[in-house]
Amino acid sequence: MRVAVTGGGGFLGSHLCEALLRRGDSVVCLDNFSTGDPENIAHLMSDPAFEFHHADVSVSVEVAGRVDAVAHLASPASPPDYLRQPLETLAVGSRGTENALRLAMRHDARFILASTSEIYGDPLVHPQEEAYWGNVNSIGPRSVYDEAKRYAEAVSAAYRRTHGVDVGIARIFNTYGPRMRPHDGRVVSSFITQALTGEPLTVYGDGKQTRSFCYVDDLVRGLVALLDSSEMGPFNLGNPVERTVTELAEIVLEMTGSTSAVKYHPLPVDDPVRRRPVINRARDVLGWEPEIDITEGLRRTVAYFGSRPERLGASAAAIRGGQDETVPLATPAPAPAPQTIPGPATATAGVTSGSSVSGS
């Protein structure tokens, strides 16, 4: 199979390219490195089955020759990135997604969209299953990412209904592992960078907010399973084990042997209080679930970060200098009580079936 991967030079994209090559597929990687890194794919460049195109998918997505599948992963994905590039984030979620869909349509190819758990916003339903429609502030600072992905899902579903494009949608929850950038602003990369350089670990809010952390190898297996299916979903892809941010900080400090302090900062605007996926649909339909626990995943990630000391110093300074500027802060308010507010079952069935027209 020949697969076009947009955003293939990024954290997730490079791991997906590698996994596809490892099983014998050919890969066409498209990236402009706005948030990716050429180092992520340097080891793939000599592979005759790997082809790289420097391209801005918001402008066009052109691939010569046969294309059997398109994996659309291109987008800034961490808050500092999409807050620094708000219009670019909206463009890649809208025009970029449509360009990738048109490529798939021209080649009668399978198309998978890397959507995100940000679809659910600051959820009023816990844990989150795919039938939940979300609680998103459409004009808040995070909306440039949230709404870009919501639009990307909408246009993908419309192309399936209108043009019969074989669409699949993955809603990706917090993922971590080697090739994360030390300064990308995600909690795992920030904590590891700070612990290894002796900087205080930055915790926003009181640290009781929760996340569910999935190791990158597990997440990529889910993307490949979705690529190989004809299912639309959407499918939650993530680890259903929920941990507080404070718990994560304690694990990182213990694993690294760091004596770093923990420093608290105000909670950013619209930062989700609780986040945990229901993955029953992925288990039942795709035969997928995570296998690598957080201890092993963090061990591998810490080893990767530790092997690049030259990057850690500069990244630690960048993180330290941007704590109060990179992410707009929220006015403290009590968290809403969890409620059960699923979307109508009839609407959900209409989205997930492929009869009428397919994952942060």
List pLDDT tens digits, range 132-150: 999 999 999 999 999 999 9
Q: Residue 179: which of 276, 305, 278, 333 has the closest Cα?
A: 305
Is residue 252 within 8 A of residue 197, CB to CB? The reply is no
Whether the bond between 123 and the residue before it is cis, its omega within 30 degrees of 0, is: no
List pLDDT tens digits, range 91-120: 999 999 999 999 999 999 999 999 999 999
List pLDDT tens digits, range 208-266: 999 999 999 999 999 999 999 999 999 999 999 999 999 999 999 999 999 999 999 98
Q: Is the dihedral of CA 189, 190, 191, 197 positive or negative?
A: positive
- DSSP strand pairing (201-204 vs 214-215): unpaired
Query: Residue 310: what pLDDT?
Result: 83
List pLDDT tens digits, range 303-341: 999 998 888 877 777 776 444 434 444 433 333 344 333
**For residue 355, pLDDT beyond 70:** no
Question: Maximum Cα–Cα distance for the chain, whole Å?
Answer: 58
Length of the chain: 360
For residue 202, give the H/E element and its range.
Answer: strand 201-204
204 is catalytic: no
Output the pTM of the full model: 0.87
Strand partners, 203: 264
Strand partners, 132: 342
List pLDDT tens digits, range 40-70: 999 999 999 999 999 999 999 999 999 999 9
Catalytic residue among 145, 159, 204, 215: 145
CA distance readout (Å), 154 to 30, 160, 279: 23, 10, 21
